Amino acid sequence: MVTRDTSSISVNMVVAREKTKEEIIKNIKWVLEDKIKPSVAQHNGVINFISFEDGVVKLEMAGRCSGCPMSKYTLQQSVEGMLKHYVPEVHTIVSEDDEGAKEQGYTPYYPSAYEM
């Protein structure tokens, strides 16, 4: 039987620690501000952070995103994928429309293919 003396071997181990809820929220907000909001703003839309709890991010669809039929698609296909990529603690995204958008003069955005 062959034995190996490992007493002089130095092993550098990186122990990953869990992020705090505050760190996760900070990362979520960074992705929203830096990666998502500029694109959404091109259509006069706004996506606001509401909360993060147990892997679920709650967002508010505001501006022209509020009530827009494409906002749910954008949320699921773009926003959710990007948040999950940059913040692996995110598992699900839910949204609610800004109830005050209409009073602020916003109407839902409709891509030109849907305009009549």
Q: Is the dihedral of CA 59, 65, 71, 74 positive or negative?
A: negative
CATH classification of 21-100, choosing from 3.30.300.130, 1.10.3720.10, 3.40.190.10, 3.40.640.10? Answer: 3.30.300.130
Parse the chain into domains and list their residue ranges: 21-100
Q: Are 87 and 80 in contact (CB under 8 A)?
A: no
Give pTM, 2 decimals.
0.72
Digitized pLDDT (tens) for each residue of the chain, 116 residues in all: 555 555 555 445 555 678 899 999 999 999 999 999 998 888 888 899 999 999 999 998 888 887 777 888 888 888 999 999 999 999 999 988 777 666 766 565 545 554 44
104: its two tokens = 């602020």
Contacts within 8 Å (CB) and 24+ apart, 110-116: 110/68, 110/69, 110/70, 111/70, 114/69
Enter the DSSP assignment of 34: I
